[in-house]
Chains A and B, each alone.
Chain A
Amino acid sequence: MSLFYATRRGLLAAGTALALTLGASGGALAQTPPGVLIVGQIAEPKALDPAAVTAVNDFRILMNVYDGLVRYKDGTLEVEPALATDWDISEDGTVYTFSLREGVSFHDGTPFNAEAVKFNFDRMLSEDHPFHDTGPFPLSFFFSSVVSTEVVDEMTVQFTLNGPYAPFLSNLAYPTGLIVSPAAVAEHGAEFGRNPSGTGPFTFAEWRSNEAVVIEANPDYWDGAPELQAVVFRPITDANTRTAEMLAGGIDLMVEVPPVALSEFQGDAYTLHEQAGPHVWFLILNAKEGPFADVRVRQAANYAVNKEALVNEVLEGTAEVAAGPTPPAFAWAYNPDLEPYPFDPDKARALLAEAGAEGAELTFYVTEGGSGMLDPIAMGTAIQADLEAVGFDVTIETYEWNTFLGEVNPGLEGKADMAEMAWMTNDPDTLPFLALRTEAWPDKGGFNSGYYSNPEVDALLEAARVATDQDERARLYREMQTIVQEDAPWVFVANWKQNAVTSDRVEGFALQPSFFLLLDEVVKN
């Protein structure tokens, strides 16, 4: 596979040379029409039912067709009102009462009200709901703390939780919390995913399998009608073909530009957009047994890995060096005092000598690909070289992504000392809560595959989850980050910057830290 990749890399270089020699000649083919934005997507969507899908690729369409009760403020990961105008949280943090926006209709003409909200959450969460069989709803556990959803009056809805759960609001801003039209679900049943109806800035127009999903402007949108007439999402799974379509003018906006293709889009004809997101790429270290059971050896690994070189050379600048377990994109919860472990091989050697772990043999699990994993084989090889330079003896074992998850998620004990991993989350709670607590060890159903355990961190995370005051939560998360960085259960490597390219005909486009694609402000000339 790596050989194949290298070939294609060389091919792109050859293509650039060819392009330079020939110069861009005038096109015989028609350009894309004005007012219609053509987006090059990475895959065919599964469905346009927000409760039923899990892929960022599908979310990019959904966020333009639906609204949630709340949404992320432009350019941040903080929630602001959307279909709910304001809300009230009970003293004990278990009852959330939302006032809903008046005068909003679904695209099918039916009104948006408290009944519709109740329908949405009951459909996902209650097994005896008449439309529960329109699932499965794989991410419904985001709302597993919801005990009941009650209609207080026409425009007021109340959620009762089984305990205080601070991430509830940001989970509502996640695509799984987008509100669908009950009438449309009743009409189309299991086919709703191909006949979607929401309240968003664009209405669904057409889905031609494996060719395009077309959405059109909703002139009655409550937050102002979009500038574009329509948006066409084209699935182009091959990254090189997507690049070629962008160069040939077949699409106006391309997401997930491969790092090797970035140089193609220098110059005035294109705008390159970058945005760091809530993503962290790290190495899980097995803190239960072997060399990494000693905190000094774990810190040595953090000093030994040249993260600057990884993000700049291997990832060609498409990521930033990570300092700790929480990505800076969660600005409100991030600890800005945290400095990444510097690249310091001498310090690493000294720590290894102190721990008596020179020449320690390590088994390193590397994946071939996978969601958010960036360029895992090249990164794994570079990390192996860095670790060997300070005296580790590293053996790499490579697995295909699904197999890899099957090996890593049940825990590394008895198998490996370290493993690559990446997470993208919508709340600063999710990753540390699922992957750093003692209660999240694999045998208890969590993702703490390296068996890290620190009672202080456990207490901070438990407290942050039930604190409804955002400043208090932020303080707890910052403290947690300092301790975790010192304990080094992971090697903190990179935060991915999502990228996109637009042609010079597109204005008003910006990527969001949430990695959602919001197009209601975009203009195309």
Chain B
Amino acid sequence: MTGYILKRLLSAIPVLLGISVIVFLIMALIPGDPATAILGSYATPENVEKLNRDLGLDKSLVQQYFIWLGNMLTGDFGTSFALNRPVLDEVLERFNATLVLAGVAFLVCAVLGVAAGVVSAANQYGLADKAITFAVLLGISIPSFFLGMMMILFFAVNLRWFPVSGMWPIYGDRTLGVLLSHLAMPATALAVVATGVIARLSRSAMLEVLRQDFIRTARAKGVHERGVIWRHALKAAMVAIIPVLGIQAGFVLSGAVYIEMVFQWPGVGRMLVDAILKRDLLLVQGGVVFVAACYVLFNIAVDVAQSLLDPRIKT
């Protein structure tokens, strides 16, 4: 097992190097440079050239790439042009906020999604199945940013139950309750689509398992129906559900971009959008590499978890 994990970790290195080259090239190739973005109307060729020199952007692309890569390997991600602070500080702080948001949203969609799928499958074509299928279809069809805005209008502007935006209040203590009141709307809006997807796939995974012989055997030996569904069938279906959860976790993380914009959540998605618009090269590059590394590690963790659960997968 250790050897398998090690092998997977080693194979991540070329992936990350590739990502670093791609993100560097994309930022180098898209039109517009940081100096023009900073100077705006005052971007004369002369001013741009001087600022590029000050920013260290007058070197060749190859030189710039290796300087950046070398610094990054020693833990120095550079300083953001637009925010004037170390890229790593900003990325870590923002990633933390995204993890809180995406983590809670993922928890919600995993629990609700699997539960809905199981209930649906257990009552195939019954009333509960139809109601859940309808709700799921509705959830999958609503764009999350639209749902987020409607929630703001209804629950924050009109009912004033929740704050409109942000992660913490401007004044007052930073308690868990306060955080949850700020989290309620964005986490819900973020979880809705993924809940629907997980529910659908859990339902079909369960249906497949329920048709198998060992379920009939369990029923025949007198196991209570609830035990059949939740203990025997769900455990077997989890093998198919866990990769779905892994994919949806990635989806929740990337979907956080829209939600962070709408709810002004200080997360890494909003950071990247702002940084791209301002051509904040180092922040975009460092941010993308960091997020990509997290994805890769997460995928490895999912594969390892699956191989532990399913003895059929050889490590």
User: In the bound complex, do residue A211 and residue B42 qualify as a contact, i.e. CB atoms below 8 Å apart?
Assistant: no
B32: A residues at CB distance < 8 A = 400-403, 405-406
Given A46-B83, A235-B264, A445-B45, 13 more contacts at CB 8 Å? A19-B157, A28-B161, A43-B274, A46-B84, A54-B42, A135-B54, A138-B38, A141-B47, A209-B85, A237-B270, A371-B41, A402-B36, A405-B36
User: In the bound complex, do residue A210 and residue B266 qualify as a contact, i.e. CB atoms below 8 Å apart?
Assistant: yes
A446 near B: Cβ within 8 Å? yes
Contacts A47-B84, A241-B262, A402-B279 given: A138-B152 contact, CB under 8 Å? Answer: no
- B248-267, CB < 8 A from A: 261-264, 266
Tell me the bound Cα distance from A400 to B276 in angstroms.
12
Contacts A24-B158, A403-B32 given: A19-B164 contact, CB under 8 Å? Answer: no
Within the complex, the shortest CB–CB distance from A195 to chain B, in Å, comes to 12
Contacts A11-B149, A244-B165 given: A402-B39 contact, CB under 8 Å? Answer: no
Give the segment of A245-253, A463-471, A505-513 that binds chain B: A245-253
* 3 closest Cβ pairs, A-B complex: A402-B32, A210-B266, A27-B160
Contacts A136-B55, A244-B157 given: A445-B46 contact, CB under 8 Å? Answer: yes
Interface string of A27-57 (1 = CB under 8 A from B): 1110011001010000110110000101000
B263 closest partner in A (C-beta): A241
A403: B residues at CB distance < 8 A = 31-32
Between A and B, 5 residue pairs with Cβ closer than 8 Å are A26-B160, A52-B84, A248-B157, A406-B31, A406-B32
User: In the bound complex, do residue B164 and residue A241 qualify as a contact, i.e. CB atoms below 8 Å apart?
Assistant: yes
Pick the contact of B164: A141, A250, A409, A423 (CB < 8 A): A250
- B148-163, CB < 8 A from A: 149-150, 152-154, 156-163
Contacts A44-B274, A46-B84, A194-B85 given: A238-B146 contact, CB under 8 Å? Answer: no
A193 closest partner in B (C-beta): B84
B238: A residues at CB distance < 8 A = none
A6 near B: Cβ within 8 Å? no
Q: Which of A27, A410, A446 has the most CB of B within 10 A?
A: A27
A139 near B: Cβ within 8 Å? yes
B75: A residues at CB distance < 8 A = none
Which B residues lie at the A interface, using CB under 8 A? Answer: 31-33, 35-47, 51, 54-55, 82-85, 90, 93-94, 146, 149-150, 152-154, 156-168, 170-171, 261-264, 266, 270-271, 274, 279
Within the complex, the shortest CB–CB distance from A482 to chain B, in Å, comes to 25
User: In the bound complex, do residue A245 and residue B47 qualify as a contact, i.e. CB atoms below 8 Å apart?
Assistant: no
Number of chain A residues close to chain B: CB under 8 A? 66
Tell me the bound Cα distance from A193 to B79 in angstroms.
13
Contacts A209-B266, A406-B32 given: A25-B168 contact, CB under 8 Å? Answer: no
User: In the bound complex, do residue A248 and residue B164 qualify as a contact, i.e. CB atoms below 8 Å apart?
Assistant: yes
A125 near B: Cβ within 8 Å? no
Pick the contact of B160: A29, A371, A409 (CB < 8 A): A29
User: In the bound complex, do residue B94 and residue A210 qualify as a contact, i.e. CB atoms below 8 Å apart?
Assistant: yes
User: In the bound complex, do residue A211 and residue B166 qualify as a contact, i.e. CB atoms below 8 Å apart?
Assistant: yes
Which A residues lie at the B interface, using CB under 8 A? Answer: 7-8, 11, 14-15, 18-19, 22, 24-29, 32-33, 36, 38, 43-44, 46-47, 52, 54, 135-136, 138-139, 141, 193-194, 209-212, 232, 234-238, 240-241, 244-245, 247-250, 371-372, 399-403, 405-406, 409-410, 423-424, 434, 445-447
User: In the bound complex, do residue A250 and residue B165 qualify as a contact, i.e. CB atoms below 8 Å apart?
Assistant: yes
Tell me the bound Cα distance from A101 to B150 in angstroms.
54
User: In the bound complex, do residue A18 and residue B158 qualify as a contact, i.e. CB atoms below 8 Å apart?
Assistant: yes
Pick the contact of B82: A28, A46, A236, A372 (CB < 8 A): A46
B47: A residues at CB distance < 8 A = 138, 141
A232: B residues at CB distance < 8 A = 170
B172 closest partner in A (C-beta): A30
B42 closest partner in A (C-beta): A139
User: In the bound complex, do residue B160 and residue A241 qualify as a contact, i.e. CB atoms below 8 Å apart?
Assistant: no
User: In the bound complex, do residue A241 and residue B54 qualify as a contact, i.e. CB atoms below 8 Å apart?
Assistant: no
Tell me the bound Cα distance from A249 to B164 in angstroms.
9
Pick the contact of A211: B146, B156, B170 (CB < 8 A): B170
B270 closest partner in A (C-beta): A237
Tell me the bound Cα distance from A400 to B40 in angstroms.
13
Contacts A138-B47, A371-B41, A445-B44 given: A244-B54 contact, CB under 8 Å? Answer: no
B265 closest partner in A (C-beta): A210
Tell me the bound Cα distance from A522 to B263 in angstroms.
29
Contacts A138-B51, A234-B166, A402-B32 given: A371-B40 contact, CB under 8 Å? Answer: yes
- Inter-chain contact count A-B, CB under 8 Å? 152
B90: A residues at CB distance < 8 A = 209
Pick the contact of B156: A32, A248, A405, A406 (CB < 8 A): A248
Tell me the bound Cα distance from A372 to B146 in angstroms.
27
Tell me the bound Cα distance from A7 to B42 in angstroms.
34
Within the complex, the shortest CB–CB distance from A59 to chain B, in Å, comes to 13
Contacts A136-B51, A244-B157, A403-B31 given: A447-B164 contact, CB under 8 Å? Answer: no
A410 closest partner in B (C-beta): B45
Within the complex, the shortest CB–CB distance from A268 to chain B, in Å, comes to 18
Tell me the bound Cα distance from A139 to B47 in angstroms.
9
B153: A residues at CB distance < 8 A = 14-15, 18-19, 244
Q: Which of B149, B167, B263 has the most CB of A within 10 A?
A: B149
Tell me the bound Cα distance from A11 to B153 in angstroms.
10
Tell me the bound Cα distance from A345 to B85 in angstroms.
54
A193: B residues at CB distance < 8 A = 84
User: In the bound complex, do residue B270 and residue A400 qualify as a contact, i.e. CB atoms below 8 Å apart?
Assistant: no
Pick the contact of A19: B146, B158, B161 (CB < 8 A): B158
A24: B residues at CB distance < 8 A = 158
B31 closest partner in A (C-beta): A403
Tell me the bound Cα distance from A402 to B94 in angstroms.
26
Pick the contact of B266: A8, A47, A136, A211 (CB < 8 A): A211
User: In the bound complex, do residue B165 and residue A211 qualify as a contact, i.e. CB atoms below 8 Å apart?
Assistant: no
B266 closest partner in A (C-beta): A210
User: In the bound complex, do residue B31 and residue A400 qualify as a contact, i.e. CB atoms below 8 Å apart?
Assistant: yes
A132 closest partner in B (C-beta): B54
Tell me the bound Cα distance from A488 to B113 in angstroms.
64
A139: B residues at CB distance < 8 A = 42
Within the complex, the shortest CB–CB distance from A343 to chain B, in Å, comes to 28
Within the complex, the shortest CB–CB distance from B74 to chain A, in Å, comes to 20
Tell me the bound Cα distance from A400 to B168 in angstroms.
34
User: In the bound complex, do residue B51 and residue A244 qualify as a contact, i.e. CB atoms below 8 Å apart?
Assistant: no
A46: B residues at CB distance < 8 A = 82-84
Within the complex, the shortest CB–CB distance from A504 to chain B, in Å, comes to 17
Within the complex, the shortest CB–CB distance from A229 to chain B, in Å, comes to 12
B166: A residues at CB distance < 8 A = 211, 234
A240: B residues at CB distance < 8 A = 149, 262
Tell me the bound Cα distance from A8 to B150 in angstroms.
11
B154 closest partner in A (C-beta): A18
Tell me the bound Cα distance from A402 to B41 in angstroms.
10
User: In the bound complex, do residue A236 and residue B37 qualify as a contact, i.e. CB atoms below 8 Å apart?
Assistant: no
Tell me the bound Cα distance from A38 to B156 in angstroms.
18
User: In the bound complex, do residue A38 and residue B170 qualify as a contact, i.e. CB atoms below 8 Å apart?
Assistant: yes
Pick the contact of B39: A54, A194, A210, A211 (CB < 8 A): A54
B160: A residues at CB distance < 8 A = 25-29, 248-249
